[in-house]
Structure 1
Amino acid sequence: MPNRAPLDPTTARWIPWVVAIAFFMQSLDGTILNTALPAMARDLAEDPLRMQSVIIAYMLTVALLIPASGWIADRFGTKRIFFGAILLFSLGSLLCALASSLGMLVAARVIQGLGGALMLPVGRLVVLRAYPRSELVRIMSFITIPGLLGPLLGPTMGGWLVEILSWHWIFLLNLPVGAIGCYAVWKFIPDLRGSERTRFDSIGFVLFGAAMVLITIAMEGLGELHLPHLRVMLLLFAGMACLAAYWLRAGSVDNPLFSPKLFRTRTFSVGILGNLFARLGSGALPFLVPLLLQVALGYSPSQAGMSMIPLAAAAMLAKSIARPLIERFGYRNILTGNTLLLGLLLASLGLVDEQTPYALLLLQLGLLGAVNSMQFTAMNTVTLIDLDDHNASSGNSLLSVVAQLSLSLGVACAGALLGGFTAAGSAEGVESTLGAFQLTFVTIGLMAMFAAAIFMQLSRADGRRAPRPEPEIEP
């Protein structure tokens, strides 16, 4: 058990608010950027269809550091690390605003990601160690509300800031919020550490991290980086070799980063693999839709941002009906049917063109938001529901990593498809940006549908035990 001293009433009252600030900063940043990509591309003299590295750099950095977050907090203390995380995130935001080239922007996003990777896990760790278990559901529900508001406010706010001021302000907006967060952490967050010091699996961390980086760069090599196919294959082979080496080693050491024993639980295995493949399709959605609206259909940044509101609003509403539906129909039926529906709705965006009624487009995006939210809720819950308390923390950490990694791979894959279809059209003398978007949506829809075969491996009885609270992992 962690060292826990009784909290004074003021500290106990303010901790959830401080953690909520961090949740809001990261949630807002994750959605406000997508609407601004075309404006950023114009200012940096880049192709707006090749800006995915700005998103991938952040997501991949977050995925890399999540496994080490608990050990770092135990080693240096939650107060110091939480303060440093918000400071790093704010510094990265400032450097993003000052960037004058795509390379500088990507480097600044990596710094932002270093802070973002620690903010949420360490924030949850503070709550876990500061309050009795009986209070956790109430407090976690409170601090995740700002996280749900981020996707609702982000695209619209990003569109208006780009149109009225400039894209730099989507990053400068983080500075006053970060300053308040740093002050609040230093004043109210206690320095909590675990009572047991475990040895960090540094070799496993390097092998697992190298696998993620190499595989992601290989995907990027097919798109934005324009690497030769031989080099892409070498990177992909090296990444798979590092991953194989990690799993072989993890089975023979005492405290691996993620134990292979987790996969003896069938619902966990199905949930992790289903998350990986289903998110490859749906993870590209926030990246592709603002580009489709602005680059292919000629929407203004503010119009594109406001068009994303149904997506986020429907996602929030769907959370209230997810649990009753899962309890009524079971995880196998919900995940299999919902995954097929998700793929069909993604592919349906391939029918959108200049003649599509705006109301119909908003309806499509609203349905996508609701189905996507149902997908994440069911996938996240079934992944952890059958793990015992001893494995729950490690399983949740691996689920967080897979979620971030699959989202970054989804964006990389969408960028590669978009670039490939655009190049193929140009080679045939038919330059149609809209046509490239349409083919990309159809393809990622089909990719998402294939994940239904994974969820069909669940039995009808899987997940029928007493439900855990839904893990706090968002798209």
Structure 2
Amino acid sequence: MSDQTSQASPARPLTIQTPDNKTIGPNFRTIALIIASAMFMEQLDATVLATALPTMARDFGVNPPAMSLALTSYLLSLAIFIPASGKIADRFGSRTVFSAAIAVFVAGSILCAQAPDLRFLVLARIIQGLGGAMMMPVGRLVLMRSVARKDLVSAMSWLLVPALVGPILGPPVGGLIVTYFDWRWIFYINVPIGCIGFILVRRFIEEVKGVSDGPFDFLGLFLSGISLGSLLFGFEMASRPGEGQLAGLLVIVGVIFGMGYLAHARRHPSPILDFSLMRVSSFSTSVIAGSLTRITQGAQPFLLPLMLQLGFGFSAARAGGIVVATALGSMMMKAVAPKILRRFGFRASLIVNGLIATFGYALCAAFRPDWPLPLIFSVLLCCGFFMSFQFTAYNTVAYDEIGRERMSSATSFYTTFQQLMLSLGICVGALALSGSMLVRSHATPELGDFSAAFLVVTAISLTATIWNLRFSQSAGADISGHTKMVKAPGE
């Protein structure tokens, strides 16, 4: 595979010529915030919809459970197209694909807002999912290609904020829209954000293409799409009462087609998901450790609001006001992450911070109604801070040893497993909650059941420490600027 080749399009990114003839391009924060805005639009949309489903079901004249198709159709689109995103970006250019993804997502949003019935909405959500599937990995690829390695940690910390803020803000924003406006505004709010993002991408982001060394893997796309779609649906349905049998069947189908894909990928010169990347030490360790940690991160937005509403008796608005603390904590992190990594390096930071972040979420199991609200808010603020730092480090060090020619394949691979593990987190949290209810013979979840679920998901992420220990002392040293001090003998 040959190296990437930068190809400038007619609309060059905005640059400034200084008196000493130096060209200054857009600041890395500008690039990161442009990409983050698009991702925030997607993350917010993915979670805000769940709040509006009962109202939408009434307008469409269907039973509320049938509205789950609006969620699963989007997941299907993600599962099919995320693996192909890197190859498509290589062929047409990362800026072109990213801006097109925003346009498709906005067009799908408009169609969703105009939907007269559930069937139309499902088709519109598939279109919207196509745009979302391209936005997640290609946005990260744009960042990796546009930002110098020394600025990568800072840029990644800005990029991570929408991934953590969106799921937290989604439910309260959805509740406000459904209560005071029409549910269609859930989709219309994407239009101005998307239009501004499209213009800024075309203005500030430079076009970069990669050269593939083989034909497009259509069979791999088919096999991976069925496998990932079945797994995502299976994990999602396992969180619903009475759907365990169908969920188990979908997971089995996903595993079978996944095995078929692995056999196919060994023979294809350019597979749609390149598992040979797992031979790269820093990448494979980040994928595995990050996947274990994301189970906790995926379960938290599911468990915490439920606990505050069902266990504490809070309203949805009041619960949302408390849960927003994790979003605030994640935003506070972006300013200090580069300094911590420069001082301690990736390995030590991931080990220590991973333990702190995990125990912070485990502390949520001890929350009770008699706790002072400022104390609960403070704990969640710290949880958001430490967990956001952990993912910033994982998302950055993963690409330490990845060559430029494999960057697009790596971003597709990493994003695919990121999405899969977040969905699995919801499943694990729901199963742990249901299991505790079954053992304690409860028809509805009580505080003790939520405590057990939090302890289960945090116990899983605690095992990531084993993998964090496998990072080398010098992992990501040129990215973080950390240099290990070695004392000479006799000092």
Q: 2:221 aligns with which of 197, 202, 205?
A: 205
Task: Tell me if 1:285 matches 2:300.
Answer: yes
Give the Cα–Cα distance (whole angstroms) in 1 for the partners of residues 376 and 116 of structure 2.
Answer: 35
* 1:132-161 deviation per Cα after TM superposition (whole angstroms, max 9, x unaligned): 969996996899499489648656644543
1:107-256 aligned at under 5 Å gives the runs: 108-122=124-138, 144=159, 147=162, 151=166, 157-165=173-181, 167-180=183-196, 198-224=214-240, 226-227=242-243, 229=245, 232-256=247-271
Say if 1:220 and 1:416, in contact at 8 Å, map to a contact too. no
The structure that is helix-richer by fraction is 1
State the secondary structure of the residue aligned to 2:383.
helix
Say if 2:233 and 2:250, in contact at 8 Å, map to a contact too. yes
Give the structure 2 partner of residue 454 of structure 1. Answer: 467
Q: 1:380 aligns with which of 364, 384, 395?
A: 395
CA pair 227-188 structure 1, distance change in 2 beyond 3 A: same
Give the structure 1 partner of residue 19 of structure 2. Answer: none
CA pair 367-201 structure 1, distance change in 2 beyond 3 A: same
Say if 1:342 and 1:449, in contact at 8 Å, map to a contact too. no
TM-score by length of 1: 0.78
CA pair 268-437 structure 1, distance change in 2 beyond 3 A: same
CA pair 349-405 structure 1, distance change in 2 beyond 3 A: same
Give the structure 2 partner of residue 26 of structure 1. Answer: 39
State the secondary structure of the residue aligned to 1:292.
helix
State the secondary structure of the residue aligned to 2:335.
helix
Once the 2 structures are TM-superposed, how far is the Cα of residue 374 of structure 1 from its aligned partner?
Answer: 1.6
Say if 1:52 and 1:411, in contact at 8 Å, map to a contact too. no
1:40-59 aligned at under 5 Å gives the runs: 40-41=53-54, 44=57, 58=74
State the secondary structure of the residue aligned to 2:411.
helix
Task: Tell me if 1:350 matches 2:365.
Answer: yes
TM-score by length of 2: 0.76
State the secondary structure of the residue aligned to 2:479.
coil
State the secondary structure of the residue aligned to 1:406.
helix
Greater shift in the superposed pair: 97-106 or 162-171: 97-106
* 1:251-294 deviation per Cα after TM superposition (whole angstroms, max 9, x unaligned): 33322223343222222221111111110111222333333334
Say if 2:33 and 2:158, in contact at 8 Å, map to a contact too. yes
Give the structure 2 partner of residue 398 of structure 1. Answer: 413
State the secondary structure of the residue aligned to 1:67.
coil
State the secondary structure of the residue aligned to 2:270.
coil
1:418-433 aligned at under 5 Å gives the runs: 418-422=433-437, 428=441, 431-433=444-446
CA pair 180-216 structure 1, distance change in 2 beyond 3 A: closer
Q: 2:7 aligns with which of 3, 8, 11?
A: 3
CA pair 436-34 structure 1, distance change in 2 beyond 3 A: farther
Q: Number of residue pairs matched?
A: 464
Task: Tell me if 1:411 matches 2:415.
Answer: no
CA pair 168-354 structure 1, distance change in 2 beyond 3 A: farther
Say if 1:39 and 1:167, in contact at 8 Å, map to a contact too. yes
Letter paired with 2:454? F
Percent identity, aligned pairs only, is: 31
Give the structure 2 partner of residue 89 of structure 1. Answer: 105
Letter paired with 1:262? L
Aligned Cα root-mean-square deviation (Å): 4.4
* 1:324-376 deviation per Cα after TM superposition (whole angstroms, max 9, x unaligned): 33344443333233333333222222222322221111012101101111210
Give the Cα–Cα distance (whole angstroms) in 2 for the partners of residues 299 and 464 of structure 1.
Answer: 44
Letter paired with 1:174? N
Letter paired with 2:352? G
CA pair 447-305 structure 1, distance change in 2 beyond 3 A: same
CA pair 416-388 structure 1, distance change in 2 beyond 3 A: same
Say if 2:333 and 2:385, in contact at 8 Å, map to a contact too. yes
CA pair 207-462 structure 1, distance change in 2 beyond 3 A: farther
State the secondary structure of the residue aligned to 1:417.
helix
Greater shift in the superposed pair: 440-449 or 411-420: 411-420
Say if 1:159 and 1:304, in contact at 8 Å, map to a contact too. no
Give the structure 2 partner of residue 467 of structure 1. Answer: 479
Give the Cα–Cα distance (whole angstroms) in 1 for the partners of residues 471 and 203 of structure 2.
Answer: 48
Give the Cα–Cα distance (whole angstroms) in 1 for the partners of residues 81 and 423 of structure 2.
Answer: 14
